[in-house]
Amino acid sequence: MFLPVILAGGSGTRLWPLSRQLNPKQFLPLVDEDLTMLQATIKRLDGLEHVTPRLICNESHRFLAAEQLRQMGLEDANIILESVGRNTAPAIALAALQALAEQADPILLVLAADHLIQDVDAFHQAIRTALLLAEAGKLVTFAITPTHPETGYGYIQRGVPVEEGGFEVSRFVEKPDLMTAESYLSQGDYFWNSGMFMFRASRYIQELEKFQPKIASICRDALANGQQDMHFTRVDSAIFSNSPDDSIDYAVMEKTKDAVMVPLSAGWSDIGSWTALWEAGKKTADGNLFKGDVLSEKTTGSYVHATHRLVTTVGVKDLIIVETKDAVLVAHKDEVQEVKKIVDQLKLSQRHEHADHREVYRPWGVYDSIDSGERYQVKRITVKPGAKLSVQMHHHRAEHWVVVSGTARVTNGEKTYLVTENQSTFIPIGQVHALENPGMIPLELIEVQSGSYLGEDDIVRFEDIYGRVKG
């Protein structure tokens, strides 16, 4: 029996425009159309004896993560919220310290929420081997058998065998150049560093206190001064932000004398680029991988992802083409690592496309910004059954709501009333108001905003069942 700890705090900038700051790759169905990367990570544990997984994510993703766990029947799963990312060593420390406070020194299986593993049986066997090593007090890392001279991963050199079925770690090495990677592959004793681990919670904290005592101390204080909010654990932001930014490899695994590795050959990928996603998928005879409404002619070796409209290609080779409602990426497969530079340009230009999609998820549902102009904005809003937007007001805009389907319960100043299909209502500037779906089916409505300022920060909240202050 073990406790899965799933790290879900990445930004996934190299998979833009699908992956964005407020909806990064771990929350997207990139490989499996029915499961997001996070959900696939949890599903992959079926058949193993473990307790309810624990998730660590950024606070801005809390409702997205909670909804995806709810869809899997894990409403009671605890989610640790980081107000600021401080890398893997502090994140795992939070989970280990919390687990020690709740249980009698559980064994932790640390997984990333955005990895692909195609051979689940091999993965399970590696976990069973690692479990024996962790029970013996070792700190286990899963080492991926390399299939090609990859320059995008760190490597682990295998040492002598240990009795329980693993190997001592001879050394960790940084991401190599191509010539060095080729030599690692030919030697046969170098493996890719997967970023997956297994150890007792107490052993990790002991080693962290030995090699990075500041991280251990700050995480302990941040938890002690945090608060529990429903199934969310909110660590003290001011304290946690002072933690060193350090990975578990640098902080512990490269320094401890008890690091061991378990080889894993299971079709693993961290899906770190569009090319990696193309490599992992099932391709046509021409080497193409198409998703969505795609037509092609004389196209080879390409990945085309159409989300909302027809995408056609003629006479192209080795391209990545990704279409969303508000952005299109066209890149050569050999240059996909540079996509993050486009994201940097978007940030410098103060454009919104790096942060969110036209469709924006909220704890109550989703809205799609259909159209906008200098003094107006049109949104299609979907409210989940039983959900309610905050009681709020706006200083600079009025709102006109037209119900498309379902029933809305509207609070408009001192009045509360129902608005049904094909009916509408008007919210004046400065009026305190709220919107709720009291029905059993999703509520869909068109919202027309008009005014001198239409930004999302023009919201004054008076009451919110989701604990939000703004945004």
Sign of CA dihedral 207, 209, 211, 216: positive
pLDDT > 80? residue 313: yes
Q: What is the CATH number of the domain that holds 127?
A: 3.90.550.10
pLDDT > 90? residue 36: yes
278 and 265: one domain? no
Span 92-101, average pLDDT = 97
Residue 33: pLDDT band (50, 70, 90) is confident
pLDDT > 90? residue 192: yes
Q: What does the alpha-carbon distance between residue 470 and residue 306 come to, in Å, rounded to a whole number?
A: 33
Span 337-361, average pLDDT = 93
Percent helix, strand and coil across the chain, each rounded to 5?
Answer: 25, 35, 40
One-character DSSP codes across 103-155? SSSPEEEEEETT-EES-HHHHHHHHHHHHHHHHTT-EEEEEEPPSS--SSS-E
pTM of the model: 0.90
> Which residue type sits at 353?
E
Let me know if residue 400 belongs to a domain: yes
What domain count does the chain have? 3
398 and 288: one domain? no
Let me know if residue 102 belongs to a domain: yes
pLDDT of residue 471: 41
Strand partners, 82: 58
320 and 455: one domain? no
pLDDT > 60? residue 231: yes
pLDDT of residue 54: 97
107 and 241: one domain? yes
24-to-29, 57, 153, 354 alpha-carbon distances in Å: 11, 11, 20, 10
291 and 410: one domain? no
Strand partners, 80: 56, 233
Let me know if residue 422 belongs to a domain: yes
Phi and psi dihedrals of 386, rounded to 5? 80, -5
CB of 198 within 8 A of CB of 140? Answer: yes
Give the model confidence (pLDDT) of 130-160 as tens digits.
Answer: 999 999 999 999 999 999 999 889 999 999 9
CB of 37 within 8 A of CB of 271? Answer: yes
43-to-3, 36, 39, 63 alpha-carbon distances in Å: 14, 10, 6, 20
113-to-24, 40, 42, 55, 142 alpha-carbon distances in Å: 11, 8, 8, 9, 15
Q: Which of 403, 459, 396 is nearest to 436 (CA)?
A: 403
pLDDT > 80? residue 227: yes
Let me know if residue 349 belongs to a domain: no
Question: How much is the mean pLDDT over the chain?
Answer: 95
247 and 323: one domain? no
Q: Which of 67, 68, 96 is nearest to 80 (CA)?
A: 96
Instruction: Write the burial class of residue 471 (CB in 10 Å: 0-12 exposed, 13-18 middle, 19+ buried).
Output: exposed
pLDDT > 60? residue 114: yes
Give the model confidence (pLDDT) of 11-27 as tens digits.
Answer: 889 999 999 999 999 99
**Domain span including residue 325:** 274-342
Let me know if residue 186 belongs to a domain: yes
Give the model confidence (pLDDT) of 63-87 as tens digits.
Answer: 899 999 999 999 999 999 998 999 9
73-to-5, 53, 448 alpha-carbon distances in Å: 17, 12, 36
299 and 244: one domain? no
Domain end marker among 269, 299, 334: 269
7: left (phi over 0), alpha (psi -120 to 50) or beta: beta
97 and 111: one domain? yes
Q: What does the alpha-carbon distance between residue 282 and residue 443 come to, in Å, rounded to a whole number?
A: 38
Percent of the chain exceeding pLDDT 70 equals 99
Let me know if residue 78 belongs to a domain: yes
327 and 365: one domain? no
pLDDT > 60? residue 470: no
DSSP, collapsed to helix, strand or coil, labels residue 67 as: helix
Let me know if residue 194 belongs to a domain: yes
394 and 365: one domain? yes
145 and 68: one domain? yes
pLDDT of residue 159: 96
Let me know if residue 471 belongs to a domain: no
pLDDT of residue 469: 66
Q: Which of 167, 149, 147 is nearest to 157 (CA)?
A: 167
SS (H, E, C) 7-22: EECCCCHHHCCCCECC
Give the model confidence (pLDDT) of 424-454 as tens digits.
Answer: 999 999 999 999 999 999 999 999 999 999 9
120 and 162: one domain? yes
Domain end marker among 223, 238, 269: 269
